[in-house]
Structure 1
Amino acid sequence: MKKVGLLGGTFDPPHIGHLMIAEEAYTQLALDEIWFIPSYEPPHKEKTTTDVSQRINMVEEAIADNDHFFLDTIEVDRLGKSYTFDTIKLLNEKYSDIMFYFIIGADMVEYLPKWYRIDELMGLIQFVGVKRPDYVLKTDFPIIGLNIPIMDISSTMIRERVKKDQSIKYLVTPSVLRVIKEFHLYESN
């Protein structure tokens, strides 16, 4: 059975931290592929101001040079709020020959009890929690813990740096940086 890791998010913008998490999960769990799933509208965050087509473009650019990274637009195609339960249910129906691993940050692990239909979701997919030094990966749910190199980068930080006209070189891939500059994303004016 094929093993696929799923990494969801707004990817506003995707950064090297996302790529490193995906690569570490791919390697440590001996996965066949990693699918990046941009959300149209995440239920736990404010609506993103960056057009979804731009976010998809940036993900495509970020993962273009990795032959085991793929883009899946299942949540964007569905529009509206993206609930993991609905996404995983659809993926399991469409790909009965794939074992999915849902990769989340340690900060999200503590919120799992509040997730939509979490008890049912736990029966549909294997969760993988990426450990961070400032979070304890403590949960009653069966989660695989993943140690990765420490990298304190966030999309929020990148947007703020662009707004202040500070460099984001080495925080995003060169191709994502080109998209941000070309379309003047995240600039203050």
Structure 2
Amino acid sequence: MAAVSVGVLGGAFDPPHNGHVALARGGIATFELGRLLVRVVRDPGHKDVGTPPGLRLLLAQLAFDPVAVAEVTLDPFARTVDSLEALELDDPVFLVGADEFADFLSWKEPERVLELARLGVATRPGVDRARVDAVLARLERPDRVALFEIEPLPVSSTEIRACVAAGAPIAGLVPPAVEAEIARLGLYAHVGKPGGGGMLGEDPSEGTTPT
């Protein structure tokens, strides 16, 4: 029996949005993935987020529940290379957006990352390909990087948090189940306000996408 191709998608998911889901679906289709490990990073340490990891895990589970091959878990590692070392997968595909890939050389041990996994880099219209090509030119194994296109979805977690704090609708930006859970729990209503974190009474203490 042929081995099942495995993909990995990591991030803070604060909150997960339709762009994350589009990246996942595009990667699954392009690389014919039989499993996609969605890793919710417990404490990346790069930027402050106010939402506890357990709640971000819940939101990610809701967001990716319609994606049949997705398996959502907490990732205790702050850096991609450490996470991949611990997973010990057989040549997985690590999915990442082109904007994140533009900073790939600043990641911890980027060449080791490419030894542990191929990179599936999602591009879209408007992405600065010159930045992507500049990174590829400096890699020892550019053959380990594959580009694929996804539909443009100009949305970010930062934008969504700001919309909720301002009382603006987020329908169409996040999956409906995520929208409903954010409203039910009152998440992000106090973002940007004195003492306000991701939820009432929480202090920002966590970061974003792993590197």
Q: Normalising to structure 1: TM-score of the pair? A: 0.89
Confirm or deny that 1:119 pairs with 2:111: yes
Confirm or deny that 1:88 pairs with 2:81: no
Query: For residues 86-165 of structure 1, what are the structure 2 equivalents within 5 Å?
Result: 86-92=82-88, 95=89, 98-132=90-124, 133-136=126-129, 137-138=132-133, 139-140=136-137, 141=139, 142=142, 143-165=145-167
Contact in 2 for aligned 1:5/1:34 (Cα 8 Å): yes
Shift of 1:135: 2.3
Shift of 1:101: 0.5
**Equivalent pairs, count:** 179
What does residue 166 of structure 1 align with? 168
From the CA coordinates, give the structure whose radius of gyration is larger: 2
Structure 2 counterpart of 1:66, which letter? Answer: V
Unaligned ranges ≥5, structure 2: 194-211
- Distance in 2 of aligned mates of 1:47 and 1:150: 27
What does residue 37 of structure 2 align with? 35
What are the superposed Cα offsets for residues 39-84 of structure 1, whole Å, 9 maximum, x if unpaired?
11224x31311111110000111112222111122x2xx3xx6111
Contact in 1 for aligned 2:10/2:40 (Cα 8 Å): yes
Shift of 1:5: 1.2
What are the superposed Cα offsets for residues 90-131 of structure 1, whole Å, 9 maximum, x if unpaired?
111xx4xx4310111111212111111112221111011111
Greater relative contact order: 1 or 2 (C-alpha under 8 angstroms, separation 6 or more)?
2
Structure 2 counterpart of 1:149, which letter? Answer: E
Contact in 2 for aligned 1:41/1:48 (Cα 8 Å): no
Partner of 1:48, secondary structure, is: coil
Which of 135-144 and 1-10 deviates more? 135-144
Shift of 1:173: 1.2
Contact in 2 for aligned 1:89/1:124 (Cα 8 Å): yes
What are the superposed Cα offsets for residues 158-181 of structure 1, whole Å, 9 maximum, x if unpaired?
001001100001111111111101
Contact in 2 for aligned 1:163/1:186 (Cα 8 Å): yes
Unaligned ranges ≥5, structure 1: none
Q: Normalising to structure 2: TM-score of the pair? A: 0.80
Structure 2 counterpart of 1:121, which letter? Answer: V
Contact in 2 for aligned 1:41/1:47 (Cα 8 Å): no
- Distance in 1 of aligned mates of 2:149 and 2:49: 29
Give the CA RMSD over aligned residues. 1.5
Structure 2 counterpart of 1:164, which letter? Answer: A
**Overall identity of the aligned pairs, in %:** 25
Partner of 2:160, secondary structure, is: helix
Q: 4+ residue runs of structure 1 moved beyond 4 angstroms?
A: none
- Distance in 1 of aligned mates of 2:73 and 2:52: 17
